[in-house]
Chain A
């Protein structure tokens, strides 16, 4: 408990420190809106090409706000939220935390790869889509944290493997074993039937990978890769593949698609029903993608908004308990969303395995 509280205080200090320090530094200088506008781009970690846009947007979009509240709270909050929510071309490290610029490590872009290797195949050109002066395909902050999650899951599982399932599981093995047994007996097998047994590795990987990515967003300077639509889209595509494979292995490729037309339905309904069912195949993973993304993003948005509001002195104290409460909620949501993603993938796979 004490350790948790101290971690929390340090976390909040790290997050709020720069904002408070900046406000304190700039408070005497009367044109407060100017300070906020200065703070915004410094804090928002947009890559250079984009920072001008961000700057302009925060100044323009929240101009009205800036006049109403001293210190342009809106702009500061927005900058803070942007920092916490969006993907970034930089990786912050808490090494210079009392300044607005943390140690920022620039991350490689793939257009650099394209430039250095001269690889201009259509695929690479399509992937390295130019947008507002910078390429999309970059090894962004979210991907760094996904890779971190990858490594953590790998190491934890290889450690857990030594005692999980043994006569007397201990430590990490015990934790992992309990989760595995829960997932197998409560989540996957009841929804897929015994045919789901061979697909257990998929569901376990999905759950632990998503869970780890979610949890990484809760540590200071961390970021949850699952708050990125591209990442959840990738995961949903994997889930889509899983559903199709499960259906095809249960009924054959043709049988799988024949299953889209339920038995006992009059033939004339087919023109209406088939497109709906066919679309349903894709809406299911799409819903998975958006659900995970929106949940993670929303949680972080709420936390970031409340932390951002610390710049209003009256709210600073009242915000703390709210941020703590929402942080705990986020901890719960991190588990919940990993569970839901796994559960729904199992349900959908089960519906393809057991056609009606």
Chain B
């Protein structure tokens, strides 16, 4: 073919091109393009699914975290409430115990005071009897001796000493 003929159409070549192309299209379409495109599609779908799943998981995790934190806050608040309550109760108990102890002590002191008073009373009572007896004995002595002023004096002094001794 000469340079001047390059613009001429050769029906045979056209036909051969078309047939080649169609055969190539059919064969590659069946054995190469379909599998490759399907594999690409599947891989892209897989990646998309993975991303979706990851996003969903992250969202779930965030929600869980929020719920967790809320629960933690509740628990903390509850614990604080409990602590305050028990502290309050302990203080009340303490006050109560102190009051009780004070009352007990007061009672004991009163009892002791009463006891002392009673003892003193009884001592005074017995002293009074003693005194009577002593004065009687002194009177007896006085009467027995006809007593001078000095004797009186000595006797009383004696009696008093005696009384003092017995006391």
Contacts and interface: CB of A to CB of B under 8 A. Distances in A.
A126 B37 CA distance: 41
Given A150-B24, A201-B28, A202-B25, A86 B6 contact: yes
B56 interface: no
A136 B33 contact: no
Contacts of B14: 230-231, 233-234, 237
Interface stretch (B39-47, B63-71, B133-141): B39-47
Contact of A205 (B6, B15, B28, B38): B28
Interface string B1-44: 11111111111111111101111110111011111111110110
A72 interface: no
Contacts of A142: 13
A153 interface: yes
Contacts of A110: 12
Interface centre among B3, B5, B25, B42 (most CB of A within 10 A): B3
Given A137-B10, A146-B17, A164 B36 contact: yes
B13 to A, nearest CB: 3
Interface string A43-55: 0101000100110
Nearest to B34: A201
Interface in B86-122: none
Contact of B28 (A131, A136, A154): A154
Contact of B2 (A86, A139, A238): A86
A336 interface: no
Contacts of A138: 12
- By size class, the interface of chain A is 35 or more
Contact of A209 (B7, B24, B29, B42): B24
Contacts of A160: 32, 36
B40 A209 contact: no
A81 B20 CA distance: 28
Nearest to B13: A230
B20 A150 contact: yes
A46 B2 contact: yes
B12 to A, nearest CB: 3
B11 A235 contact: no
A229 B7 contact: yes
A26 interface: no
Contacts of B4: 57
B11 A126 contact: yes
Given A180-B40, A205-B33, A235 B17 contact: yes
A79 to B, nearest CB: 9
B50 to A, nearest CB: 12
A12 interface: no
Contact of A231 (B1, B13, B27, B29): B13
Given A78-B3, A150-B20, A204-B28, A136 B10 contact: yes
Interface string A304-346: 0000000000000000000000000000000000000000000
A88 B1 contact: yes
Interface in A155-212: 157-158, 160-161, 164-167, 176-177, 180-181, 184, 200-202, 204-206, 209
B3 A234 contact: no
Contacts of A201: 25, 28-29, 33-34, 37
A214 interface: no
B28 A234 contact: no
Nearest to A134: B1
Given A136-B10, A230-B9, A204 B20 contact: no
Nearest to A242: B25
Given A46-B2, A181-B40, A238-B18, A229 B8 contact: yes
A205 B27 CA distance: 10
Interface centre among A53, A128, A228 (most CB of B within 10 A): A228
15 contacts: A46-B1, A46-B2, A86-B6, A110-B12, A136-B10, A138-B12, A143-B16, A157-B32, A158-B32, A165-B43, A201-B25, A204-B33, A228-B6, A230-B9, A231-B14
Interface of B: 1-18, 20-25, 27-29, 31-40, 42-43
Interface of A: 44, 46, 50, 53-54, 57, 78, 81-82, 85-89, 110, 126-129, 131, 136-140, 142-143, 146-147, 150, 153-154, 157-158, 160-161, 164-167, 176-177, 180-181, 184, 200-202, 204-206, 209, 225, 228-231, 233-235, 237-238, 297
Given A57-B2, A87-B6, 13 more contacts: A54-B2, A57-B4, A78-B3, A86-B6, A137-B11, A161-B32, A164-B36, A164-B40, A200-B37, A230-B9, A230-B12, A234-B15, A234-B17
